[in-house]
A and B are shown apart, each in its own frame.
Chain A
């Protein structure tokens, strides 16, 4: 099955459109000065505010998918083969999201990273079977967590389809998630490497802890931001960071390379989620495949809200009561769009992407390395 081209790149806006005065008060994550090249992405998310039309991808952006496509051919078929179940219905539920319509963002990063590390180590151009397994396992763990998240959030739609819980009910949906996780764990054991097992098991633990972090909220504004970034790391970036680390361990014995792979994955992962949080405000439901302003409705204060709160302190009370009063969601959304919360969050994502680029640039040059760099740009440009 051919993998779908998974996001569209709008043409870059005119350079130097605006300069952002960014003052990030959270000291936990610090960055070097950002490079000029990233300024041109500034305001991109504003340029396609609720633009549901499909923008043609710019010729200049070569498809980095091309390099990994060979490795990801039959990705979903192979995942389905891992899901050995005897009952038709449970099988159908487990296969439901592996329909080839997902972005396959994680497996793509993982195989590109595997290739970049292999080339760095001994100029090998092959992806090892075990590295490809990591890509499969990463997508499976991700999907298992989506199925459970949808039960937790009582979500009705995802990727333009009804959720598993909506179709089959919560009891069965939770079991399907558990089954996908057990199959991922089985595939992980079969790689036969205890270090890889530990690295990827960390992801499972982080996903759950991230979900717990999402339950609580902090009173103090700075703590709140650090809390948000930590949650973002655990819920999204840990999976990418640790799968990148896993393939680097399989491909190259040098611990410095493992750290590069981890840092790249971590920074791209956080940027990816920051943009996701922006899109929740700037994109419309049809385009996202899930309802817009979903985070606010769940009572979650994401990046754009936390930045907006600095301009509109009256949002504090709403954040603390998790947007539970009638009208809170609409008012918060209006405040966010009036503020520079969206730009600030996008800008922060740019800084993470820049950091990811800086890390990956330490590897020996290769087309795969360039693709990983390009991928950071696409994380910022995506509109769904």
Chain B
């Protein structure tokens, strides 16, 4: 069914094999894709970082150096990691815009295009990144009432919170302003609802991670998928759809773009959830979330009771979780393989959605992204 895509994608397959040996293929997939869309996607950081408000924040964040406020890590990640995951959403929006091309209804506007992408679609890519970053910042708020003495002075944490709320709000406000400038009420509606989804997704994420005793909520994989859609997929899916709306593409193409964004980011999330379980070098065990897909699936196969028993055994003495032991238990079950199956299933659905787009470099790059997040050693 995806014959043509597979053949086109084969060029990238060479580097995909690099997963086990040496560097990850991700950065290469990204940098090749960036060439296709004309210029690198790190534009967002530029315009925003040059504003008075953010330089004010940057000055203030320096005061947090030496404290334990999470905003510091977010800021660090923003600077050092911007070549990797941070700009992925914007890049996908640009690629899918280019893959869809101008619609027949909008031929008159073709002169607005640079590298086959409308300027409104470039703005949308930037908006998507702004929203994503705003919530990275808002995710890092700490609950003042739950602080312990080892977290350092209360005043520092309050100050960190203040900066985190403000800078997140600043990014969101900028996103809203750019969104309004797109002059398309359907797009404003889509992106606003994506923000609402994201908030609800993060809320679920929070209510789980606050479980100190490591006992997870009794959720099945379908609930897990709902939550992950909200926290990890909705923004990209709706942005992809909105990019099609901006070029006045048909409802069908809009839906396909939505499906690509949704399923690609679902497999992306499954892929990263699986990393602690598929890494070949087992010398150091990565801590993993008990709400990651393999663990949730493991529980489904095993039954709640038996799963709780395994957690209790791993907790053993002193309440310190023995992740190594728990990981072995999960690996022994069917959780890992079925998470891999699920990851590939979403990948296939993302590729199927791409079938509706004409073959092009941009479409191949979108397919390569799927290959990168469905490849396991």
Contacts and interface: CB of A to CB of B under 8 A. Distances in A.
Pairing of A with B: yes
Interface of A: 84-87, 89-90, 148, 151-152, 154, 165, 169-172, 174-175, 178-179, 181-183, 185-186, 188-194, 197-198, 201-202, 204-205, 207-209, 211-212, 215-216
B200 A90 contact: yes
A87 B203 contact: yes
Contacts of A154: 144, 158, 161-162
Given A154-B158, A197-B180, A197-B185, A170 B170 contact: no
Contacts, number: 129
A192 B206 CA distance: 34
8 contacts: A154-B144, A170-B144, A185-B188, A186-B189, A188-B192, A204-B177, A205-B177, A211-B166
A194 B200 contact: no
B196 A186 contact: yes
B146 A169 contact: yes
Contacts of A174: 138, 141, 164-165, 168
Nearest to A148: B165
B183 A170 contact: no
A346 to B, nearest CB: 31
A216 B57 CA distance: 11
B53 interface: yes
Nearest to B181: A198
A182 B192 contact: yes
Contacts of A89: 207
B143 interface: yes
A165 B168 CA distance: 17
Interface in B131-181: 135, 138, 141-146, 158, 161-162, 164-166, 168-170, 172-174, 176-177, 179-181
B165 A152 contact: yes
B206 A175 contact: yes
B169 A208 contact: yes
B203 A193 contact: no
Nearest to B158: A154
Contacts of A185: 176, 188, 192, 195
Contacts of A209: 53, 173
B193 interface: yes
Nearest to A144: B169
Interface residues of B, number: 46
A170 B161 contact: yes
B56 interface: yes
Contact of A212 (B166, B176, B180, B184): B166
A186 B193 contact: yes
A176 B172 CA distance: 14
A322 B166 CA distance: 19
Nearest to A193: B185
A207 B169 CA distance: 9
Given A171-B206, A212-B56, 20 more contacts: A87-B200, A87-B204, A151-B141, A152-B161, A169-B143, A169-B144, A170-B161, A171-B142, A175-B138, A175-B203, A179-B199, A182-B199, A189-B185, A189-B188, A190-B189, A191-B185, A205-B177, A211-B169, A212-B170, A215-B60
A169 B145 contact: yes
Interface string B33-45: 0000000000000
B173 A205 contact: yes
Which A-B residue pairs are the 6 nearest by beta carbons? A189-B189, A169-B143, A185-B192, A189-B188, A182-B195, A201-B180
Nearest to B169: A208
Contacts of B53: 208-209, 212
A201 B180 CA distance: 7
Nearest to A179: B199
B202 interface: yes
A90 B158 CA distance: 23
Contact of B176 (A90, A165, A201): A201
A220 B145 CA distance: 39
A215 B54 CA distance: 13
Contacts of A192: 185
B202 A175 contact: yes
A194 B184 contact: yes
